[in-house]
């Protein structure tokens, strides 16, 4: 997955966190250890969602509760993947499926959901 200017939400901190998330996702197809990448995604995802939600709260973004549910859905999905990986091990198909899901989720989240708060952070 490659960063595009269209993904920008007009906030430097959030943009740089989104770029870091994309890099983590790309590690999945670069032979990095799957458990390490999943743990990194959980750690970094949690940190990023906290930053984003704190900024949105401070900006008075009215749809914050709805936005939290998108983040929660991601965390729930990731927790399930981590659990499945811990009990089933690594395989190339799982890795590709996880990579595909993350690319679709991130692109949709950045282009649709995160776009809606851009004017509130100006
Ligand atoms: Fe978000």
Instruction: Give pLDDT tens digits for 3-31.
Output: 999 999 999 999 999 999 999 999 988 88
Q: How far apart are CA 45 and CA 51, in angstroms?
A: 10
Sequence-ordered list of residues with C-beta below 8 angstroms from that of 40, at least 6 positions apart, any chain: 24, 27
User: What's the 29 CA to ligand 1 centre distance in angstroms?
Assistant: 24
Q: How far apart are CA 119 and CA 92, in angstroms?
A: 41
> Which residues hold their Cβ within 5 A of ligand 1, which is an ion?
114
User: What's the 116 CA to ligand 1 centre distance in angstroms?
Assistant: 10
The three-state secondary structure class of 2 is coil
Please tell me the predicted confidence (pLDDT) of residue 31: 82
- Is the pLDDT at 43 greater than 70? The verdict is yes
Q: What is the pTM of this model?
A: 0.90
pLDDT tier at 66, thresholds 50, 70, 90: very high
pLDDT tier at 92, thresholds 50, 70, 90: confident
């Amino acid at each position: 997955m490659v960063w595009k200017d269209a993904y920008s939400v007009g906030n430097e901190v959030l943009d740089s966190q989104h770029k870091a998330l994309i890099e983590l996702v790309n590690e999945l197809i670069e032979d990095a250890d799957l458990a390490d990448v999943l743990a990194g995604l959980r750690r970094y995802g949690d940190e990023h969602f906290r930053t984003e939600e704190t900024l949105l709260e401070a900006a008075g973004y009215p749809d914050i509760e709805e936005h939290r549910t998108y983040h929660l859905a991601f965390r729930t999905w990731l927790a399930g993947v981590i659990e499945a990986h811990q009990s089933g091990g690594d395989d190339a198909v799982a890795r590709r499926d996880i990579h595909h899901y993350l690319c679709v989720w991130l692109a949709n989240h950045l282009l649709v959901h995160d776009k809606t708060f851009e004017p509130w952070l100006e």
